Amino acid sequence: MNGAKNAGEAVNIQLPEMKVAAEMGTMSGPLVAPRPSRSVHGKMDIAHVVLRLACLLTSVTALSLMATAKQASTLSLYGFNVPVRSNWSFSDSFEYLVGVSAAVAVHSLLQLLISGSRSLRKSPAIPSRNHAWLIFAGDQVFAFAMLSAGSAASGVTNLNRTGIRHSALPNFCKPLHAFCDRVAASIAFAFLSSLFLAISTVLDVVWLTKY
């Protein structure tokens, strides 16, 4: 009887201690950091897919507009009608924009296929930190490349619209307005594509910092 009584008292003494320990653990927070929920991962995956799709569409549009930019017309110079012909391949800056747009389109298509397939399998679009670092580096490189290509092409387009200062050369975009309009639209989509890549880079940083 005395042994049973002592055992009962020991249990009564240990139970409050365990309760206090449990309360302290609850107040101080969990000992192991919680993993991100599926809803958070799902929102990040959807954002990645949307950005990849937008970047793919804008880069393909910039590529198609620039690659089809050509026109032939006549230019009045000192009373003479001079035939002029324009083509995107005549400018190194335009060729650079076409090349970068094609590379960005391929990059966006690959990432879109990978993210879309993993989302359909209910898997995270970015499976590991190494994969996230790889995507971050690629997005950053292509964002700067697209931005530089658009800037270089816009300088040539501005020169065609305003002519060369302190010279008698006219505004070439007057007789070649269709060519200049297509080039300007291509450059606008190139800048828009670089913006989407920059936003994707920010999401990559958020993923690396949180997960």
Q: What is the pLDDT of residue 60?
A: 96
Can you tell me the mean pLDDT for 53-78? 86
Cβ atoms within 10 Å of 145's Cβ, excluding its own:
19
Asked whether residue 30 is domain-assigned, the answer is no
- DSSP H helices, the chain, are 2-28, 38-67, 92-120, 129-162, 177-210
CA diameter of the chain: 126
Own/partner contacts of 144-147, CB < 8 Å, gap of 24 or more, are 144/194, 145/100, 145/103, 145/104, 146/59, 146/100, 146/101, 146/104, 146/190, 146/191, 146/193, 146/194, 146/197, 147/191, 147/194
180 CB-near residues (< 8 Å, 6+ apart): 157, 160, 161, 172, 173
Asked, for residue 1, whether it belongs to a domain, the answer is: no
Asked if the structure places residue 24 within a domain, the reply is no
Residue 26: the pLDDT is 47
Tens of pLDDT, residue by residue over 68-121, are 988 866 666 666 676 677 788 888 889 999 999 999 999 999 988 888 787 777
pLDDT, one tens digit per residue, over 157-200 is 766 665 545 445 556 777 777 888 899 999 999 999 999 999 99
Question: Is 33's pLDDT higher than 90?
Answer: no
Is 143 part of any domain?
A: yes
Residue 102 resides in a domain:
yes
Mean model confidence pLDDT for the chain: 76
Sign of CA dihedral 29, 32, 35, 36: positive
The CA distance from 208 to 211, in Å, is 6
Residue 40 phi/psi, 5-degree rounding, is -65, -45
Could you list the residue range(s) of the whole structural domain that residue 138 is in?
39-69+89-210
- Residue 174 maps to a domain: yes
Calculate the alpha carbon distances from 51 to 19, 23, 124, 137, 204 in Å. 50, 45, 16, 16, 12
> Looking at the domain assignment, is residue 205 inside a domain?
yes
Domain count, the chain: 1
Residue 7 belongs to some domain of the structure: no
Band of residue 203 on the pLDDT scale cut at 50, 70, 90: confident
